[in-house]
Structure formats: structure tokens, C-alpha cells
Amino acid sequence: MAKKKYAIGVDIGASYTKVGLVDENGNLSRETSLTTTQYKTPEDFVAALALQVQLITGSTEAKVNGVGVGAPNANYHTGGINNSANLPWKEYFPLRDVLMEAIDMPVKVTNDAKAAAQGELLFGKAKGMKDFIQLTLGTGVGSGIVSNGELVYGHDGMAGEVGHIIAKPNGRPCGCGRRGCLETYASATGILNTAQKIMLANGLIPFQSSREITEAAMSGNPMALEVFNQTGKVLGKVLANVHSVLSPQAIIFFGGLANAGDFLLVPTRKAFEEELLFVYKDSKPELMISGLMHRNAAVLGAAAMVI
Ligand SMILES: [Zn+2]
């Protein structure tokens, strides 16, 4: 019988970095984490990460194929991270090469949203799909595009910035320096801004978090429902445009805001179908919530790159 394949998955986040051993069936074990902000330099961080990796490989009989890393602003082609708004180190850092040197194992690095899409493809609802888009609706909006069974990286490793498609010309200012990007409306931050506008206009105290908006929607709060309606309208319209480029079988939502489930899905689907080009009317994609919401999709997906 062939031996099971294993890899170590790493998800570098702004606050915490999660590490775990993943097998070919998507089972995660020996989970551990590091406080990302605790390390003043990326070199110190990699030294600590390498130690965790060695502790895991040293404590298991499993043959570990390598390490996959998902990180904000990471580039699959160069293996480096650059200018990430959410990480403590701003300069370009050749993460893959430095980690590979430290642990003497194969290492692959990609952007966190692409890692999550990879996880969905291997272990989630996209199993068996050849064409789908996964949007991570978190602090920002990240995306992973799978076309003909492969993640789309583009010639420079930077393809799939769906979050920075301009949804409203001259709209809200975006962290990228332009205005009206999708992520200024459909991220956790974006939806809070929308809520603030609606609530203040009605003389109410605004919600403090996207979770609070979801909870209010659950109890039928009309303001919260309106916030989701407006968000879904923007998101659905942009996705209808994206659909005409890629014609995916499904569009899958992941990340904090996806916890809103139908409150987000229903208005998004409505706007999406209204704007969808007629040639797709008989082959409409499914809009759905990730199957890995309560599992660590980014760690699973990062490991999936090397399994
Ligand atoms: Zn932008």
C-alpha cells in the first residue's frame, strides 16, 4: 500500500501565524502558532518558524514532502513577500529561499487567498471542479481563481486581484491609492463603512463589527438587512463582470464576512443574475459559502501546494 502523503501548511497572518501537519485527505494535526508581531525582523521570524517546522517533522513518523506557506502579498513565482500592509515588515523579503535554506526541505509560497482556494479545491466544496473563483471576504477582499483545474497566477504571479476591480468610479478611497475598489464595499471594513453611513443617516449608533451586523440581521434588524442588500448589490454586479471573463462553475465565499451566509448570498445572487450576460443564463454558476469555514482553509491550502 502506498504511504500517505503529508506536508506542513503555514498561514502567515497579521497577528498570528498558524502551522500544522496536513495529510492528503485534509486532516490537520500538530497545530501550533506563532505571534507574527513578536518578531522585529523577517529573519527572526523565519528562524522561529523553522524551529516549529523541525519540531513537527521530528515528532512524526510521517514522511513530510515539504512546506507550503500562504501569506499576504506573497508571490508564488518569486517566493517573496513585498510591501504588505498587514505584516510588520514592509521591505521585500525572499521568504521561500530563506526558509528553504533553514529547513532543507522544498518550500512553496503563495498569497493567502490563493492558498485558501487551493484548500477548497482539494478538501472543500470545489473538489472535482475545474473552474471556480474563491473570494476571501476579510479585512480586504482576496481571491483565488482556478481555471481548467489550475490556479491562475498570471505572468508575474499577481493575477486575481478581484478585490481591486473598480466597483464604483470615484467611490470610496482604497488602500491601493485608487477609489471605488470592490474591497472598499465588500470586505469586513467596507461593510462597516456602509453600515455607518446608513445608521448615521437614520440617527442611530453604528454597528461596531461585521459580526454585529450579521447578528442584527439574524434578529430581523431592517438596517442590518439593508446593509447586506447594498453590499450584495455591489458584489453581485462586479462578479457578473468577472464571470464574463472566466465563466466559472461556482463562486465560493470565504472569510469573516462569509459567516453572514444567506444574508450576503441572497442579495449578491440577485444582483449577479440581474447583471449576468444573457449567454450565461442557462449555465449560471452556483454562488456558495466555503465548505472549510470552520477549518483552517489557508493552512490546508498552503500544505496542498506541496502534497
Ligand atoms: Zn484598491
Q: Kindly state the percentage of the chain with pLDDT values over 90.
A: 84
Q: For the beta carbon of residue 87, count every other beta carbon within 10 angstroms.
A: 22
How much distance in Å is there from the Cα of 173 to the middle of ligand 1? 8
Average pLDDT over residues 111-126: 93
> What's the mean per-residue pLDDT of the chain?
94
Q: How many angstroms separate the alpha carbon of residue 225 from the centre of ligand 1?
A: 26
Cell numbers for 262, please give them: 444567506
- Which domains occur in the chain, in start order? 6-118+296-304 (3.30.420.40), 129-289 (3.30.420.40)
What's the burial of 288, exposed, middle or buried (CB within 10 Å: 0-12/13-18/19+)? middle
Sequence length of the chain is: 307
Helix (H, G, I), strand (E, B) or coil at 172: coil
Q: How far is the CA of 175 from the centre of ligand 1 (A)?
A: 6
What is the average per-residue pLDDT within 30-37? Answer: 94
pLDDT at 91 over 90: no
Confidence of residue 2 (pLDDT cuts 50, 70, 90): low
- How far does the centroid of ligand 1 lie from the alpha carbon of residue 105, in Å? 36
Residue 157, pLDDT > 70, answer yes
pLDDT tens per residue, range 34-81: 999 999 999 999 999 999 999 999 998 889 999 999 998 899 999 999
- The CA-atom distances, in angstroms, between 130 and each of 80, 127, 291 are 28, 9, 17
pLDDT > 70? residue 15: yes
Does position 86 have pLDDT exceeding 90, yes or no? Answer: no
3-state secondary structure of 141: strand
pLDDT by residue (tens digit) across 165-203? 999 999 999 988 999 999 999 999 999 999 999 999 999
The rounded distance, in Å, linking the Cα atoms of 121 and 142 is 16
Residues with CB under 5 A from ligand 1 (ion): 164, 174, 176, 181
Give CA–CA dist 118/125, Å, rounded.
11
Mean pLDDT calculated for residue range 273-290? 95
d(CA 184, ligand 1 centre) in Å = 7
With a cut of 60, say whether residue 228 has pLDDT above it: yes
> pTM of this prediction?
0.91
- Ligand 1 centroid from CA 167, angstroms: 10
Residue 9 is classified by DSSP as E
User: What's residue 259's pLDDT?
Assistant: 93
Residue 87: pLDDT band (50, 70, 90) is confident
How far is the centre of ligand 1, averaged over its atoms, from the C-alpha of 195 (Å)? 20
